[in-house]
């Protein structure tokens, strides 16, 4: 089986390749030589690889990378033999841009935050580029380097299945259920909403669209041989985002928050000031209850009652867990 290159690493390789050429690369040159496409040629059709490149190209443009298409000089609209490049002048850091040692140290710390299995390889590349500026950035900040994981374990296999238009199965445990339920779906888009990853799918058994929290997927995501029509992915991310926003618009919590606390900082960004506290829209009562309970006495739920009871239940469970533990 061909080596699996994560989508973000493949896109990074594409950026490096397109910046290394003045005249640009043809689509075939990219598929033949850029890591992430090259390894897939033995098992994927040319059409599938070309669609993968088109998606990557559009994703790079979406995040601000200026991928330039160079058509036939005689007929600029003829893109059959088009070449692609990233003009270095539009993407490189300005030559006269300088960082102080303190600023470079902060950048170094940011790069070291990502834990292994997350974005560590990309972060290491970034650190090498920072150190290439000629200033030592090995000095620790505050004596420690925090660690964090960017995504749940289900993220990578789901992203790969989306790229390949492959059906997947996974076990999903809803709050209140004793046992997870097996789901068979066509994964269409991954969406970050309220700092949590969701997968938007066509649920094969339910016969319609569904959105699942990645944090509630239990065990491994299993990729099936079944494939689905790539057109199902078109606009899927926007539909998922719109659906989550519509859910949040229908329900909100009135909260009293202690000023100057972490709860005030985090919830204040999402809420609207009210005569009594702030009103925060939310998608999932259980997820919000977990967050509010983590703030302890910094926040009090005024309404709705079911959310208040959910928070109290979590606080009681924490108290009971620590009851009898000596200080």
Span 238-264, pLDDT tens digits? 999 999 999 998 999 999 999 888 888
Phi, psi of 209 (to 5 degrees): -75, 145
CA proximity to 155, closest of 180, 119, 125: 119
Which parts of the chain have pLDDT scores under 70? 1-4, 72-79, 89-97, 99, 101, 104-151, 324-327
User: Which residues are bridge partners to 213 per DSSP?
Assistant: 198
Strands (E), the chain: 25-26, 68-70, 83-85, 166-172, 181-193, 196-203, 208-213, 217-227, 252-257, 272-273, 278-281, 299-303
CA proximity to 232, closest of 212, 205, 203: 203
Predicted local distance difference test score (pLDDT) of residue 202: 96
Q: What is the pTM assigned to this prediction?
A: 0.56
**Structure tokens that stand for 297 in this block:** 């006495």
Cα–Cα dist 254/40, whole Å: 51
| Ordered strands of the 196-203 beta sheet | 208-213, 196-203, 181-193, 166-172, 217-227
Cβ contact 31:53 at 8 Å? yes
**Structural domains of the chain in order of their starting residue, each with its CATH number:** 7-91 (1.10.10), 98-150 (no CATH), 155-244 (2.30.30), 251-322 (no CATH)
Strands (E), 19-163: 25-26, 68-70, 83-85
Predicted local distance difference test score (pLDDT) of residue 196: 83
Predicted local distance difference test score (pLDDT) of residue 199: 94
Q: Which residues, 6 or more positions from 138, have their beta carbon under 8 angstroms from its beta carbon?
A: 108
User: Which residues are bridge partners to 299 per DSSP?
Assistant: 257
């Amino acid at each position: 089986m061909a080596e699996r290159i994560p989508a973000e690493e493949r896109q990074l390789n594409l950026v490096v390749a397109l910046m290394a050429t003045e005249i640009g690369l043809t689509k075939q040159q990219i598929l033949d030589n850029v890591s992430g496409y090259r390894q897939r040629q033995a098992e994927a059709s040319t059409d599938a690889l070309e669609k993968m490149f088109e998606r990557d190209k559009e994703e790079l443009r979406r995040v601000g990378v200026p991928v330039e298409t160079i058509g036939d000089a005689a007929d600029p609209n003829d893109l059959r033999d088009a070449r692609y490049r990233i003009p270095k002048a539009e993407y490189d850091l300005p030559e006269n841009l300088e960082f102080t040692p303190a600023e470079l140290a902060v950048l170094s710390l940011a790069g070291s935050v990502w834990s292994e299995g997350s974005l560590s390889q990309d972060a290491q590349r970034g650190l090498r580029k920072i150190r290439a500026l000629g200033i030592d950035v090995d000095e620790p900040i505050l004596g420690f380097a925090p660690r964090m994981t960017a995504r749940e374990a289900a993220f990578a296999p789901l992203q790969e299945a989306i790229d390949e238009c492959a059906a997947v199965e996974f076990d999903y445990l809803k709050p209140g259920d004793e046992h997870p339920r097996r789901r068979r779906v066509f994964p269409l888009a991954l969406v970050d909403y309220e700092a949590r990853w969701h997968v938007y799918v066509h649920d094969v058994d339910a016969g319609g669209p569904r959105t699942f929290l990645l944090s509630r997927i239990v065990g491994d995501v299993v990729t099936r041989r079944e494939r689905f029509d790539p057109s199902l992915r078109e606009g899927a991310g926007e539909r998922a985002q719109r659906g989550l926003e519509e859910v949040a618009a229908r329900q909100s919590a009135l909260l009293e928050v202690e000023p100057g606390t972490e709860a005030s900082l985090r919830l204040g960004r999402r809420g609207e000031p009210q005569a009594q506290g702030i009103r925060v829209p939310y998608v999932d009562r259980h997820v919000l209850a977990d967050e509010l309970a983590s703030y302890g006495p910094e926040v009090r739920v005024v309404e709705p009652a079911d959310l208040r009871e959910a928070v109290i239940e979590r606080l009681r469970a924490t108290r009971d867990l620590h009851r009898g533990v000596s200080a």
